[in-house]
Amino acid sequence: MQYLFKEHSEKKLRKWARRLKFFRFFRALGGHANDGDSLDVAFAYGEPAQLDTFLTSLGVKLVKFDAAPPQPLPGVAYQGDVFLRFPSLIDGTLWQQPGRCDIMGIEVFIWCHAGVVKISLHDGYAVSEQNVRDAAAIEKLLARVVLERIDPSADNRHYICP
């Protein structure tokens, strides 16, 4: 419990949880995981077309390739800058992962994997009051989403839910 409330008091986290309908506070795993706290929301999709429609409704434009772009080869070592030039693809598509992008001018991180699209907000390794306000603004768009929401975003004891 001490680790859970190290950055934000229980009172503050409860207040945030009551203000947000969809986003959930994720307390970083810590240690050597090099992760950070975040506000997350996730939705399930069955077909890539559903994902495309969902992201388009949020103003996120996917990069779509006509042919498979070069990808790193297993067992081959690459310099960091070379490796970063390979686009990360969404499973089963020739579409690039959205990664860092904007929704309504708000920077978010979006990742799609195994039929789940997850949207995260954070300031570096922490969550701020501004992140909570931004999440509340994005939730107005998410209220119209027809995809099934996954709540919490993952089966994990690090999510704070009402």
Residue, of 36 and 30, whose pLDDT is higher: 36
- pLDDT at residue 32 tops 60: no
Q: Band the pLDDT of 35: cuts 50, 70, 90.
A: confident
Alpha helices in the chain (DSSP H): 10-19, 48-57, 80-83, 129-142
The answer to whether residues 121 and 23 touch, using CB atoms and an 8 Å cutoff, is: yes
d(CA 109, CA 128): 16
> Average model confidence (pLDDT) for the chain?
90
How much is the pTM? Answer: 0.90
d(CA 35, CA 6): 15
- pLDDT at residue 14 tops 90: no
DSSP string covering 124-161: TTB--HHHHHHHHHHHHHHTT--SEEESSSSS-TTEE-
Residues in the chain: 162
